[in-house]
Amino acid sequence: MGTVTDKLPEVPPAYQPPTTVPLAPWEPPLVETGPPQTKRGLATLVITLGLLLCLGAVVLAIRLWPQSKNETSPAAVTATAPVPEATVPEATAPEVAATGLPELPALPASAEQDLEDATDGTSTAIRFTNTTSATISVSWLNYDHNRTWYADLAPGQSYDQQTYTGHVWVITRTGGTALALYVATAAPAQATIRQ
């Protein structure tokens, strides 16, 4: 038979995970740095500030976003600002009467080297109308003085382009040869491309 002793066997303590090592690399340490109320309050503050910043960005984007095509169409804009008769050139009177827009003067193709885009940020529109017998291209002369293509117009076709006062638009033939240049004015206008 066995002998009875007064000494009990040693029982190992229950396992305790370390308090300073995160459970995963992306988790914060398990060490408490403040009362739970403070952490919740700080998290609520951070979330609230984030939502306010997002809301502010949305409002700013809406204000800076270009207006829809219906709002900037030359017909809608000219309804509040009638075109004075004195600005209508006689040669284009039937076209101006049909669109209700003043005619933009065509600048010679040689002006492309000298013209710089000088916008003041005022939104406007140009209606480009191709009266030639060939397809033409409409391009914006950007801030780096490079052409940025926007549209091709078949003979007889028109196109409304939202733009800004002072933007320079280049009209080219299919091969890239410039036909004319137009500078956007504060009031929406008609750019009639002729031979």
152-181 tens-digit pLDDT:
999 999 999 999 999 999 999 988 899 999
Tell me phi and psi for residue 130, to 5 degrees: -90, 110
Would 174 be classed as within a structural domain? yes
Would 34 be classed as within a structural domain? no
Of 118, 151, 140, 124, the C-alpha closest to 67 is 124
Would 27 be classed as within a structural domain? no
Question: What is the pTM assigned to this prediction?
Answer: 0.50
Would 56 be classed as within a structural domain? no
Distance CA 59, CA 90 (A): 46
What are the tokens at 150? 């926007």
Q: Which domain holds residue 115?
A: 69-193
Would 126 be classed as within a structural domain? yes
Would 26 be classed as within a structural domain? no
Would 52 be classed as within a structural domain? no
**pLDDT tens-place string over residues 107-141:** 998 888 888 777 888 899 999 999 999 999 999 99
Would 11 be classed as within a structural domain? no
Distance CA 173, CA 167 (A): 20
| Domains in the chain, number | 1
Q: What is the CATH number of the domain that holds 141?
A: 2.60.40.780
